[in-house]
Amino acid sequence: MEEKLMQLRELLGEVADLRAASSVLGWDQQVNMPEGGAEDRGEQIATVENILHKKATSDEIGKLLDDLEKYKDQLDPDSDDARLIKVARREYDKQTRVPPAYVSEFARVSTVAQSVWEKAKAAADFEKFRPHLEKLVNLRRQYAEFFEPWDHVYDPLLDDFEPGMKTADVQEIFNKLRLEQVELIRKISEKEQVEKSFLTLNYPEKKQWDFGVEVISKFGYDWNHGRQDKSAHPFTTSFGLNDVRITTRFKEDYLSTAMFGTMHECGHALYEQGVDKKLNRTPLADGASMAVHESQSRMWENLIGRSRPFWKYFYPRLKEIFPSQLGNVDQDAFYKGINAVEPSLIRVEADEATYNLHIMLRLEIEIALMEGSLEVKDAPGVWNEKFKEYLGIVPPDNGQGVLQDIHWSFGGFGYFPTYALGNLVSVQIWEKMEQDLPDMDAQIEKAKFDEILGWLRDHVHAYGAKFEPQELVQKVTGSKITPEPYIRYLQSKFGEIYDI
Amino acid sequence: MEEKLMQLRELLGEVADLRAASSVLGWDQQVNMPEGGAEDRGEQIATVENILHKKATSDEIGKLLDDLEKYKDQLDPDSDDARLIKVARREYDKQTRVPPAYVSEFARVSTVAQSVWEKAKAAADFEKFRPHLEKLVNLRRQYAEFFEPWDHVYDPLLDDFEPGMKTADVQEIFNKLRLEQVELIRKISEKEQVEKSFLTLNYPEKKQWDFGVEVISKFGYDWNHGRQDKSAHPFTTSFGLNDVRITTRFKEDYLSTAMFGTMHECGHALYEQGVDKKLNRTPLADGASMAVHESQSRMWENLIGRSRPFWKYFYPRLKEIFPSQLGNVDQDAFYKGINAVEPSLIRVEADEATYNLHIMLRLEIEIALMEGSLEVKDAPGVWNEKFKEYLGIVPPDNGQGVLQDIHWSFGGFGYFPTYALGNLVSVQIWEKMEQDLPDMDAQIEKAKFDEILGWLRDHVHAYGAKFEPQELVQKVTGSKITPEPYIRYLQSKFGEIYDI
């Protein structure tokens, strides 16, 4: 068994190396590549991904996994080895169920769809994008068929992002959440709105960069195993556990974009930097799921970065850096401004109280498209109806409506719910952490984050992808993913700000 | 035949993609990578290189090349297809002659040797490095055996860098050159030395960067298909023909380092940016050889960048940028200062008149080591003797002597002569270009480089690696590589500067 395990590790190590190589090519493409290199880079990534796919689905790995199956009972089921075999098996089975012809066809269709979507969005012209979205919906339904039987056609898509999670679970969670969030927003809308115009003065980029670096250095971002660059769309990427990079972007006329974006990506990076190094070069060197990953980014961005204790330390610093912009804004006003609730059209700019509603309407549309209960041509109408119902406003055109996100253009159905689940998980873990670290607020007020990061490392990060998201959340908090903590959090935080 | 050619192109395209991927990993390592990522990056590059090697030496490619052999006569021997088959055949044969066991052993030994060399150089301790160099000499002699029969044991090593060239050719060229260069230096040493202390004042990095960018933009460096970054050792790398990047480094107390280094790397990059795009993703998307590559870098660095016409345009600009440093230095004094001849210990800092002598002594030692007429333990002594004979000085220790270059530590025997050959080729091509573009000096005085670059594209760059270096030089200049033009150039240029 030892020898077979070593062989498996060796092969999975090569797969991990190729995945890292592909990620470096992708990072470089978004951060450094001159425009003229785009076409060649496409070929290079395709070649590496193609070899990667062949290696990951090779008979050699399949055979080793079959052989190792027999020894499974000799291992502690929570040991690194047992979990490695389990996760490798899961990924191998998923990938080998999908025929190569489908993979090529899907890659072809989604590449075209993405470039059409870009133009369609700019022109707010849904009809242009419609036939491509129809193809993608069909292809994704076909994809689901490879995994029959299932309880719901959406399950296999969700499983790609949240291993083990079911559509019914998500729906149950979201049904509770929606009612509460819609009600909260209604109450807020009746109150006096908070002032936030000071956030849209001129904030020079270099100073924003320096402040961001100061904050995430305090958080514990490890610059010896990472770096920060600029890119059009912020992201976190890792090339193994020892090189975890983040990117950020700046708006000189809006302070929040880079400030909270940097904290958000840093949260993702802290997760990967914290995975037990023993798991490096294996499929376990990853987050447990997209939702758990998002719980970490949202925790540092919102539960810490948008909290009163955080700004007790950092607001005097920020005022030093931007004296003319913030000279007349006191700490309380600043706190309220960065937490202003305002139903808006664009998901990525949404505040904590409205964000999940943006997700829910997307999920409902995705599920209906997959079930076939909604036709693609009717999606814009449904989008606008639900928008009105949940957020009280209607997009003026489809560019700011149904076409706003890139996800559908690459066929990424199943992705959206992870954002909202991440919010829920962040508070669920936070509540548990508060019990273990009762003076957490006092620590944050001093910009001391080592105990918090240490707790997260021990209880969440170190495990990497050993556990499925529901398993992990259960292990950390004592229950599966549940909306109550998040609802409590929203009601308490915004109840105080808006005097509800 | 068409179909087989297409299959070959497809396979070679994948090899090219993997080579590009490996180059991106290497570029990133030297330009961006956080220190902590080094070990993982080593694994990633090794995995990609390993797959690359397997693909490049696959039976599939061998079979296609065998099949295509039969159709060779149907093709114009200078056509892209005929040359593609020829070059692919050459590379395939070279790579398949070397057993995988040798490749691994060599990689292992040279990796260790490099890290020992670094320490040995810092400590000026040749004994520490000696056993590793002995192993590498033995391994390289073994390497030569794979290619028997040959005229000289050094031929197969040279051939890796200069396809088709023989040791005897290089020796003949260098024997003529050495006498003339030694004599020239002797004459210069009897003359009054030129003033150059103004080059070692304080030159802020940012201003040096901007000036370098201004110069290479005028040269015609295509920023849409390239970029410049900083690295410890300047280099040029390409990821296909559409993304050709350069790096540079700065010394704030020495103006020449970045200034001429930037022009040098730009010269390399202009070559690759100028290769016919039809050759992209094939083994022909490369320079003809290291020497021809170096001829292009040295041309832009020396024949243009260290010429009087160049500074007629750029010196006023440089004075504007550095008024306090250069205010009292006139154009003639500046020109002489940047061309000052002074025998020195370190190759990379050598001037045009002494540079080749640094190369020759290395080549003579390499050849003697390979022949077995010199033992590794005696190399430092021979180094110092030859240094005294050629350059009139003796290194104070082995760190500044036999240990100064990295090349031997990675077993790169055969590499050094290409530097000197590149110098010769640069002037040989230049003389031909002067005939075709009689007002070249007047153009350079106006910083107009489009005709020069256009000529080089048409006569040199566009061909990529279609021709062997001697073939290409013959084609461009009417004769094989010969030292006379370079000797004439040195005598004329330095005769004028030193009034000889």
Mutate to test the interface with B, among A33, A40, A43, A228 (most CBs of B within 10 A): A40
From the list B28, B40, B224, which residue is nearest A242 (CB)? B40
In DSSP terms, which residues pair with B229 in a beta bridge? B247
Q: Which pLDDT score is estimated for A206?
A: 98
B454 CA to chain A: closest CA distance, Å? 20
Would you state the torsion angle of the CA atoms of residues A464, A469, A475, A481, taken in this order, to the nearest 10 degrees?
A: 150
B46 CA to chain A: closest CA distance, Å? 9
pTM for the predicted model, two decimal places:
0.95
What letter does residue A74 receive in the DSSP assignment?
Answer: G
d(CA A25, CA A29) in angstroms, rounded, equals 6
List all residues 6 or more positions away from B408 whose beta carbon is below 8 Å from its beta carbon. B117, B133, B136
A334-371: pLDDT as tens digits: 999 999 999 999 999 899 999 999 999 999 999 999 99
B281 at interface of A, judged by CB pairs closer than 8 A:
yes
B38, two tokens = 């080094």
Q: Which pLDDT score is estimated for A73?
A: 87
From the list A17, A40, A44, which residue is nearest B47 (CB)? A17
d(CA B217, CA B228) in angstroms, rounded, equals 11
Length of chain A: 500
**Cα A211 versus chain centre, distance:** 24
Mutate to test the interface with A, among B31, B241, B243 (most CBs of A within 10 A): B243
In DSSP terms, which residues pair with B230 in a beta bridge? B248
* Structure ipTM: 0.94
CA–CA–CA angle B216, B343, B390 (5° rounding): 120
Q: How confident is the model at residue B72 (pLDDT cuts 50, 70, 90)?
A: confident
d(CA A364, CA B309) in angstroms, rounded, equals 71
> Token match 């570029």: residue?
B27
d(CA B165, CA B158) in angstroms, rounded, equals 7
Q: Are A467 and A90 in contact (CB under 8 A)?
A: no
A110-143: pLDDT as tens digits: 989 999 999 999 999 999 999 999 999 999 999 9
| Helical pair A416-436 and A450-459, crossing angle rounded to 10 deg | 110
d(CA A31, CA A34) in angstroms, rounded, equals 9
B346 CA to chain A: closest CA distance, Å? 33
**Half-sphere exposure (Cβ direction) of B423: Cα atoms closer than 13 Å:** 27
Interface touch B37/A243, C-beta < 8 Å: yes
From the list A34, A224, A243, which residue is nearest B224 (CB)? A34
Q: Average per-residue pLDDT in chain B?
A: 96
Helix (H, G, I), strand (E, B) or coil at A275: coil
| SS3 per residue for chain B | CHHHHHHHHHHHHHHHHHHHHHHHHHHHHHHCCCHHHHHHHHHHHHHHHHHHHHHHCCHHHHHHHHHHHCCHHHCCCCCHHHHHHHHHHHHHHHHHHCCHHHHHHHHHHHHHHHHHHHHHHHHCCHHHHHHHHHHHHHHHHHHHHCCCCCCCCCHHHHHHHCCCCCHHHHHHHHHHHHHHHHHHHHHHHCCCCCCCHHHHCCCCHHHHHHHHHHHHHHHCCCHHHCCEEECCCCCEEECCCCCEEEEECCCCCCHHHHHHHHHHHHHHHHHHHCCCHHHCCCCCCCCCCHHHHHHHHHHHHHHHCCCHHHHHHHHHHHHHHCHHHHCCCCHHHHHHHHCCCCCCCCHHHCCHHHHHHHHHHHHHHHHHHHHCCCCHHHHHHHHHHHHHHHHCCCCCCCCCCCCCCCHHHHCCCCCHHHHHHHHHHHHHHHHHHHHHCCCHHHHHHCCCCHHHHHHHHHHCHHHCCCCCHHHHHHHHHCCCCCCHHHHHHHHHHHHHHHCC
Residue type, A489: Y
Which active-site residues of B does the annotation give? 265
Shortest CA distance from B244: residue in chain A = A37
| SS3 per residue for A193-257 | CCCCHHHHCCCCHHHHHHHHHHHHHHHCCCHHHCCEEECCCCCEEECCCCCEEEEECCCCCCHHH
**Cα B407 versus chain centre, distance:** 12
Helix (H, G, I), strand (E, B) or coil at A330: coil
Q: Are A136 and A109 in contact (CB under 8 A)?
A: yes
Q: Are B306 and B352 in contact (CB under 8 A)?
A: yes
Q: Are B111 and B139 in contact (CB under 8 A)?
A: no
Interface touch A18/B47, C-beta < 8 Å: yes
Interface touch A24/B13, C-beta < 8 Å: no
B81, two tokens = 């297809």
Residue type, B55: K
B411-445: pLDDT as tens digits: 999 999 999 999 999 999 999 999 999 999 999 99
Q: How confident is the model at residue B48 (pLDDT cuts 50, 70, 90)?
A: very high
Q: Which pLDDT score is estimated for A72?
A: 83
d(CA B453, CA B239) in angstroms, rounded, equals 22
In DSSP terms, which residues pair with B238 in a beta bridge? B244
Q: Which pLDDT score is estimated for B403?
A: 97
A137, two tokens = 């919906």
User: Which of A49, A91, A265, A364 is the catalytic position?
Assistant: A265
Q: Which pLDDT score is estimated for A110?
A: 92
B96 at interface of A, judged by CB pairs closer than 8 A:
no
Q: Are A318 and A211 in contact (CB under 8 A)?
A: yes
- Which segments of chain A have a pLDDT < 70? none
**Exposed / middle / buried, residue A391 (Cβ in 10 Å: 0-12, 13-18, 19+):** buried
Residue B1 pLDDT greater than 90, yes or no: no
Interface touch A36/B227, C-beta < 8 Å: no
**Half-sphere exposure (Cβ direction) of A309: Cα atoms closer than 13 Å:** 15
Q: Are A182 and A340 in contact (CB under 8 A)?
A: no
Q: Which pLDDT score is estimated for B438?
A: 96
Q: Are A469 and A481 in contact (CB under 8 A)?
A: yes
Mutate to test the interface with A, among B19, B47, B229, B272 (most CBs of A within 10 A): B47
Q: What is the largest distance, in Å, between two alpha-carbon atoms of chain B?
A: 70
Using a CB-CB distance cutoff of 8 angstroms, which residues of chain A are in contact with residue B10?
Answer: none
d(CA A359, CA A412) in angstroms, rounded, equals 14
B18 at interface of A, judged by CB pairs closer than 8 A:
yes
A40 CA to chain B: closest CA distance, Å? 7
